[in-house]
Amino acid sequence: MCGEPIGDITNALSGLEDGNPVHFDCALKAAVDKMNPGEGETVIYLGKGGFAVVDSQAYQQRRLKIIRRMDWEDPDTETPWRTELRTDVS
């Protein structure tokens, strides 16, 4: 997304357009831009390719009040670069 090389592929997410790996920070920034959190809201990563807008105050108190969520990655879609990564690790 930013054009910079990815140093640690294990922290990458799949890009929305083509499924190629993107920096986690680039995906987070794009999710924030897309989800447009309001006053007192924060965007967090839920894991498994999902982001959520949460209530900031509740989050600071270690409570999770999800306002809305977005699946960045489709959990049912396997990306070739992840399959290759798994093969290389095992």
Region 21-43 average pLDDT: 97
52-87 tens-digit pLDDT: 999 999 999 999 999 999 999 988 888 889 888 877
pTM above 0.85, yes or no: yes
User: What is residue 43's DSSP assignment?
Assistant: E
Tokens of 39: 């006053």
User: What is residue 6's DSSP assignment?
Assistant: P
The angle subtended at Cα 37 by Cα 35 and Cα 73, nearest 5°, is: 30
Which DSSP helix (H) or strand (E) runs through 47? strand 41-47
